[in-house]
């Protein structure tokens, strides 16, 4: 290879490698922002938000809430369902579990939302420790049979889905 061709080749390689590092660094930063939980990305516009959690083709959790000044208000379930049981309609004859059990599970789900009422959006991640959020009727922390961690993850997923989708309705 001639000296001039070698110099051109090296200059082009230098530019290509430099461009990869320069533009690749920004891409890495942007991709890191994409994997951060939605509530850690910043401020959210005021309004009503709606989100859902689906698993194995089943529509399990749907909820809605309002954000005002990055604070969560009026959190409620629109749909709460698992393996043929409608938690929001415990008396439904098509349910598999007894109505009393479904009422307890519904109450524990609702306590997760009550925990967030009036808190900053960043508090959503605190639901990964459901023992700080949900208690049973006797004031005891939620026990392991109720799979509170799994349910909290579904609620967190639905909340994040709502934040990712953006405002459903402006105030």
Angle between helices 148-165 and 99-116 (to 10 degrees): 50
Element (H, E) at 108: helix 99-116
Planar angle of CA 30, 33, 36, nearest 5 degrees: 155
Taking the C-alpha atoms of residue 130 and residue 125, their distance in angstroms, rounded to an integer, is 10
Match 């889905």 to its residue by tokens: 161
User: What mean pLDDT do residues 42-67 have?
Assistant: 91
Task: For 87-116, write each residue's pLDDT tens digit.
Answer: 999 999 999 999 998 998 888 889 899 999
Residue 169, helix vs strand vs coil: strand
Could you tell me the two tokens for 28? 């890495």
pTM above 0.75, yes or no: no
157: confidence class by pLDDT, cuts 50, 70, 90: very high
């Amino acid at each position: 290879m001639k000296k001039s061709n070698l110099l051109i080749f090296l200059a082009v390689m230098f530019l290509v490698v430099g461009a990869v590092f320069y533009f690749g660094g920004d891409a890495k930063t942007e991709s890191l922002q994409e994997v951060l939980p939605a509530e850690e990305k910043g401020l959210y516009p005021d309004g009503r938000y709606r989100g859902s959690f689906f698993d194995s083709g089943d529509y399990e959790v749907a909820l809605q809430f309002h954000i005002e000044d990055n604070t969560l208000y009026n959190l409620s379930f629109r749909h709460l369902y698992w393996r043929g049981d409608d938690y929001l309609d415990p008396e439904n004859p098509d349910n598999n579990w007894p109505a009393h059990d479904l009422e307890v599970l519904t109450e524990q789900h609702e306590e997760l939302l009550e925990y967030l009422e009036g808190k900053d959006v960043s508090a959503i991640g605190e639901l990964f420790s459901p023992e700080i959020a949900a208690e049973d009727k006797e004031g005891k922390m939620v026990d392991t049979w109720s799979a509170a961690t799994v349910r909290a993850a579904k609620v967190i997923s639905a909340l994040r889905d709502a934040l990712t989708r953006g405002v459903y309705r402006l105030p």
